A and B are shown apart, each in its own frame.
Chain A
Amino acid sequence: MTPGPQVSVVVRGGDSPALLVTCLEHLGALRTAPHEIILVDPGTDESTRHLVAEKFPDVVHLRPPRRPGRAQTPWQAGLSYASGDVVAFLGGDTRVDEFWLDALTTHYADPAVSAVGGRVVSASPASRGPHAVHAARADGEALAAHEATTGLASIGRVLPSGELTSFFGADPGRPVEVDHLPTANLSFRTAALASVGGFRAPGPGTTDHDATDAALRLSAAGHRLVFTPQAITRRDTAAEAPGRTDLRHLFGTRRDHLILLTGAYGWRHPLVRRYPATTLRDQHRHLRAAYRLLRARPDDHGSRPPLHRRAIWPVIFTRSVAELAGLAAGTLAALQLRSGHGSGHRSGHGSRHGSRHGSGHRPVATDPGS
């Protein structure tokens, strides 16, 4: 029997020491232990560092330095240190199932597979926040059923319109091929990830989408990415819900989306050309909603909006402004990155091999186990 690949697990620390400890405890209870566990957390305070060192002496704790003005990519810091054939990445606020690692690694038996991701299941509806109103409010089972059955044929896709779909809570019952993977539960064949340059900050001032950016670049380069519903992580924190209408979110989504597309596919790709058209088409819903309020048109249920509701039509209209502004900002940012001015936003850690084998800068590491 061929032994499975050696797996390094990189955990990105979060704001809650309690959740981080729970995450590491679950990693310790895996049926198949990973080759190494690396915690990357630039923001950890001393008490958390001591807590982790005391309870999990085998965990490697990396604290990449904060560099003013330069966005850091914790994933890249972990990748630089990792020595496994496969590197798995986890959010520090998640809890893995017992067979999580086995479910992920079994797909690497196929040499064509370069990345594997798994389901991210919301464990507690109560903690999902006000934006989860689209989903079942009532109980966890209803929410789980909603997540498991929504978007089954559209998991992790890049659509011809340039849009990205997620639906990483869905359970299609079988492994499916995808174009990108969930940021809190994914793994890469180390060599494949290195071949596309590892992680990088996809846009100015943000590292939020570095995993999505890496997965998209792998996919664009012709690598095969798999989503397996058997590799489950659970999280209590609020998952991003569709239908959010706050202006900052609308602006950021359009901006980051365009940056991701241009970073993965280049300016000449049809997806990049179509996405602005898709954004313009999508304004139909905001403009229609604003018009309905302005003219007191009945909604789909036939009821007319009351006066106080009608008065907010300019607010609805500003959503369109925010999205179009985000698109413009994304265009400028992508142009900046293309022309090289954005190189300062790339990760300063270099490739994994360079870092580990001496040709690059190794991140500052506190390794209680060594």
Chain B
Amino acid sequence: MRTTAYVLAADPAFLTESLLAYYPHVERIVVSYDENARSWTGTPLPVEECLQAIARLDTAGKCVLAPGHYARLDHDPLDNDTFQRQCALDQASEDADWVVQLDTDEVMPRPDTFLRTLHHADAAGAGGLEFPSRWLYAQVGPGTYLEAATRSGRLAANYPGPLAIRAGADLRLCRQSDTPLYRVDVRPWNSDPLHPRDVVVHEVIPESHAVVHFSWVRSEAAMRAKFGWSGHTAEYSEPAVYSRWKWRKDHPRAAALTSRLRGEEWYRIARISDPPISAPVAHRAPTGPTGRPAGARATAPTTPRDLR
């Protein structure tokens, strides 16, 4: 089975950890970026920093640079997101059976598990692999995070879209596609409150093997910038969103303890020691109004949880 990958070079925060996890297991990685270093909303991106990081880790010459024009200001940012991904996916699909589509702030702690389930998805005839990710809301301390949970305090897996997709597939929105999916979960029954209760789970993996999504693990400056410059500014720029995040980040245990009292947005404290987090997030995020924050997501939110 020939496996390639694509990444969108826009967010250097966890890029090295993310790529290095699956770098030995793919034949080629298409590095897609805007040729003018602009985001989908037209704001500047630290593309050069990303390309330098990729050049440092690309010891086997697997990375293929794929510049393009994706800051199409006459299009919706989500359309630009989908368009850039589709272009990258098409390039990565050449001489490939499957294409890994992980964002650069998503890290595989156990690539062997990911690849094993990918083989199972291939054998089952699926068009995409839905693999669970742990959605991190804030960093509490070294190796300790506030992560999305169910109301009862169990892990709530997050599915932004198939993390691997069959070569040549068509994307509908961001990473999502209308192809039949092979669903991996952390429990035998659906563990994502945002999905239907009776969604089919094909395989179960341990929680510690799920992809770790450092979604909102940012410094305060990076989060302010993210709220200002994301493609979802309308949602993020609500003062209450930042206030809630700031309070919960500063009072993580209270946020976790009061989860059950809330109708939604449930969290728990989780220790995630693998992989080692080498990136000092606070120093990565540009704070100026003209630069896309390091924490700005390369993908568009696809579920309400992403909009928190």
Binding site for B on A (CB under 8 A): 151-155, 157, 159-162, 165, 172-177, 274, 278, 281-282, 284-285
Q: How far is the CA of A174 from the CA of B122 in the complex (A)?
A: 10
Residues in B with CB closer than 8 Å to A155 are: 124-125
A159 touches B200 (CB 8 A): yes
B204 touches A176 (CB 8 A): no
Residues in A with CB closer than 8 Å to B121 are: 153
A284 touches B197 (CB 8 A): yes
Residues in B with CB closer than 8 Å to A284 are: 197
Chain A interface, >50% SS class: loop
A281 touches B189 (CB 8 A): yes
Q: Which residue of A152, A154, A162, A176 contacts B123 across the interface (Cβ within 8 Å)?
A: A176
A160 touches B201 (CB 8 A): yes
Known: A153-B127, A161-B188, A172-B125. 9 other contacts (CB 8 A): A153-B124, A153-B126, A153-B182, A154-B202, A155-B125, A157-B124, A157-B202, A159-B188, A159-B201
Nearest residue in B to A177 (C-beta to C-beta)?
Answer: B123
- Min CB distance A307 to B, Å, is 29
Residues in B with CB closer than 8 Å to A162 are: 188
- Min CB distance A155 to B, Å, is 7
Q: List 26 A-B contacts (CB under 8 A).
A: A151-B180, A152-B125, A152-B126, A152-B180, A153-B125, A153-B182, A153-B202, A154-B124, A154-B180, A155-B125, A159-B200, A159-B202, A160-B185, A160-B202, A160-B203, A160-B204, A161-B201, A162-B188, A172-B180, A173-B125, A176-B124, A177-B123, A278-B189, A281-B197, A282-B198, A284-B197
Q: Which residue of A160, A173, A174 contacts B188 across the interface (Cβ within 8 Å)?
A: A160
Q: Does B181 contact A (CB under 8 A)?
A: yes
Q: How far is the CA of A285 from the CA of B197 in the complex (A)?
A: 10
Q: How far is the CA of A216 from the CA of B34 in the complex (A)?
A: 52
Nearest residue in B to A179 (C-beta to C-beta)?
Answer: B124
Residues in B with CB closer than 8 Å to A157 are: 124, 202
Q: How far is the CA of A205 from the CA of B125 in the complex (A)?
A: 36
- For chain B, which range describes its interface: under 10, 10 to 19, 20 to 34, or 35 or more residues? 10 to 19
- Min CB distance B219 to A, Å, is 39
Interface digits, B188-213 against A, CB 8 Å rule (1 contact, 0 not)?
11000000011011111000000000
Residues in A with CB closer than 8 Å to B197 are: 281, 284
Q: How far is the CA of A278 from the CA of B185 in the complex (A)?
A: 15
Residues in A with CB closer than 8 Å to B203 are: 160
Q: How far is the CA of A284 from the CA of B198 in the complex (A)?
A: 10
B180 touches A153 (CB 8 A): yes
Query: Taking each of B125, B181, B200, which has the highest tally of chain A beta carbons within 10 Å of its own beta carbon?
Result: B125
A176 touches B125 (CB 8 A): yes
A154 touches B200 (CB 8 A): yes
Among B72-125, those with CB < 8 Å from A are 121, 123-125
Nearest residue in A to B201 (C-beta to C-beta)?
Answer: A160
Among B159-189, those with CB < 8 Å from A are 180-182, 185, 188-189
Question: Which 4 A-B residue pairs are closest in the complex by CB-CB distance?
Answer: A176-B125, A172-B125, A152-B180, A153-B180
Residues in B with CB closer than 8 Å to A278 are: 188-189
Q: How far is the CA of A363 from the CA of B71 in the complex (A)?
A: 76
- Min CB distance A20 to B, Å, is 33
- Min CB distance A172 to B, Å, is 4
Residues in A with CB closer than 8 Å to B124 are: 153-155, 157, 176-177
Nearest residue in B to A224 (C-beta to C-beta)?
Answer: B123
- Min CB distance B204 to A, Å, is 5
Residues in B with CB closer than 8 Å to A281 are: 189, 197
Residues in A with CB closer than 8 Å to B181 are: 153
- Min CB distance B166 to A, Å, is 10
Nearest residue in A to B197 (C-beta to C-beta)?
Answer: A284
Nearest residue in B to A150 (C-beta to C-beta)?
Answer: B180
- Min CB distance A11 to B, Å, is 28
Q: How far is the CA of A11 from the CA of B198 in the complex (A)?
A: 37
Nearest residue in B to A155 (C-beta to C-beta)?
Answer: B125
Residues in A with CB closer than 8 Å to B188 are: 159-162, 274, 278
Q: How far is the CA of A177 from the CA of B198 in the complex (A)?
A: 23
Nearest residue in B to A171 (C-beta to C-beta)?
Answer: B125
Interface digits, B33-74 against A, CB 8 Å rule (1 contact, 0 not)?
000000000000000000000000000000000000000000
Nearest residue in B to A165 (C-beta to C-beta)?
Answer: B200
Among B124-154, those with CB < 8 Å from A are 124-127
Q: How far is the CA of A317 from the CA of B127 in the complex (A)?
A: 38
Residues in B with CB closer than 8 Å to A151 are: 180
- Min CB distance B126 to A, Å, is 4
Q: How far is the CA of A162 from the CA of B187 in the complex (A)?
A: 12
Residues in A with CB closer than 8 Å to B126 are: 152-153
- Min CB distance B242 to A, Å, is 35
Q: How far is the CA of A71 from the CA of B67 in the complex (A)?
A: 69
- Min CB distance A49 to B, Å, is 42
Residues in A with CB closer than 8 Å to B127 are: 152-153
Query: Taking each of A154, A172, A274, which has the highest tally of chain B beta carbons within 10 Å of its own beta carbon?
Result: A154
Q: How far is the CA of A248 from the CA of B121 in the complex (A)?
A: 35
Residues in A with CB closer than 8 Å to B182 are: 153
Nearest residue in B to A226 (C-beta to C-beta)?
Answer: B123
